[in-house]
Amino acid sequence: MKYLWIASAFILTLAGCGGDPSRLTVTHAPSVMEERVSVRSLVLADISLPEYANGSDVVRETEQGLIEPLPGLIWADIPEDAMANDIVRHLSSITDRPVARAPWPLSSFPDAELTIRADEMLLRGDGVLRLTGQFALSREDNPWSDRIRSFDVRVPVRGPELSDIADAHAQAWRQLAEQIAQEL
């Protein structure tokens, strides 16, 4: 029993030595694109990322193809939330239309609904951030215009700094928003 207390004290001491991890935030990468669209308003109904990409750890692919966290580094925000907020900001700016996350905050209903399903968002072993998946656009007033499109966005990480990882994510999200805007 005495050894259990000593081991517990030792573990707590080691845990206290680690310090808080650094938090990495993705800074908005403004788009210069302007797109005329057929919808008057858009709601981002849902966005999903793979489990490894939506955790608090910032991850990368190893040379062996495994996914591992970068030591001592976590995201400043939940990745799905950060990505959703950034996509909404981009689409609103690009289209000059009201765009919001669900639940829709206005009294009138949105013209269209967007769903994004990413199956990969990973800093690959070759130094490229890859974001792939599908997005779906649906319109209740015109079901013939409903569509599903695949996306495959690749952004090279420009340098070894942590900010370069964040910049690559910002660029990937901007490129995805621009692709979506062209389908509206």
pLDDT tens digits for range 8-34: 233 333 334 456 778 888 887 888 899
Percent of the chain with pLDDT over 90: 66
pLDDT at 16: 42
State the pLDDT at residue 19: 67
Summarised one tens digit per residue, pLDDT across range 99-117 is: 999 999 999 999 999 999 9
pLDDT at 130 over 60: yes
User: Token pair 């490229």 is at which residue?
Assistant: 128
CA separation, residue 34 to residues 95, 96, 107, 177 (Å)? 6, 8, 27, 11
**CATH fold label, 42-183:** Rossmann fold (3.40.50)
Q: Average per-residue pLDDT in the chain?
A: 86
| Nearest alpha carbon to residue 28 among 88, 100, 97 | 88
